[in-house]
Amino acid sequence: MQNPYVPYPVRIDDIAIATEDKSLKTFKFVFLNAGDEEKFSYNAGQFAELSVAGIGEIPIGIASSPVEKGFVKFTVFKAGVVTSHLHNMKVGDIMGLRGPLGNWYPWDLLEGKNILIVGGGFAFTTLRSSIVYMLNPENRPKFGNIDVVYGARTPGMLLYKDELIQWEKRDDINMHLTIDAPAEGWEYNVGFTPPVTEQKAPQGDDDTYAIVCGPPVMIKFTLPVLEKLGYAHDHIIMSLENRMKCGFGMCGRCGIGKELVCKDGPVFTLDQINQTPREY
Note whether 181 binds other proteins by CB under 8 A: no
Note whether 246 binds other proteins by CB under 8 A: yes
Cβ(262)–Cβ(247) below 8 Å: yes
**Binding-site size, other proteins (CB under 8 A):** 44
Note whether 272 binds other proteins by CB under 8 A: no
Question: Segment near other proteins (CB under 8 A), from 77-85, 134-142, 169-177, 229-237?
Answer: 77-85
The sign one gets for the Cα dihedral 59, 255, 41, 37 is positive
Q: What CA–CA distance (Å, rounded) separates 105 from 110?
A: 8
Note whether 250 binds other proteins by CB under 8 A: yes
N- to C-terminal Cα distance for the chain? 32
Binding mask 53-72 for other proteins (x = CB under 8 A): xxxxx---------------
Which of 139, 200, 241, 272 touches other proteins by CB under 8 A?
241
Which of 25, 113, 176, 263 touches other proteins by CB under 8 A?
263
What is the SS3 assignment for the chain?
CCCCCCCEEEEEEEEEECCCCCCEEEEEEEECCCCHHHHCCCCCCCEEEEEECCCEEEEEECCCCCCCCCCEEEEEECCCHHHHHHHCCCCCCEEEEEEEECCCCCHHHHCCCEEEEEEECCCCHHHHHHHHHHHCCCCHHHCCCEEEEEEECCHHHCCCHHHHHHHHHCCCCEEEEEECCCCCCCCCEECCHHHHHHHHCCCCCCCEEEEEECCHHHHHHHHHHHHHCCCCHHHEEEECCCCCCCCCCCCCCCECCCCECCCCCCEEEHHHHHCCCCCC
Note whether 36 binds other proteins by CB under 8 A: no
Nearer to other proteins, 13 or 241 (CB): 241
Nearer to other proteins, 183 or 250 (CB): 250
Question: Segment near other proteins (CB under 8 A), from 61-69, 180-188, 197-205, 240-248?
Answer: 240-248
Q: How far is the CB of 52 from other proteins (least distance, A)?
A: 8
Q: How far is the CB of 245 from other proteins (least distance, A)?
A: 5
Note whether 99 binds other proteins by CB under 8 A: no
Note whether 253 binds other proteins by CB under 8 A: yes
Question: Segment near other proteins (CB under 8 A), from 17-25, 38-46, 198-206, 271-279?
Answer: 271-279
Which of 19, 51, 130, 222 touches other proteins by CB under 8 A?
51
Nearer to other proteins, 194 or 255 (CB): 255
Binding site for other proteins (CB under 8 A): 1-7, 9, 32, 51, 53-57, 79-80, 83, 93-96, 241-243, 245-246, 248-258, 263, 275-277, 279-280
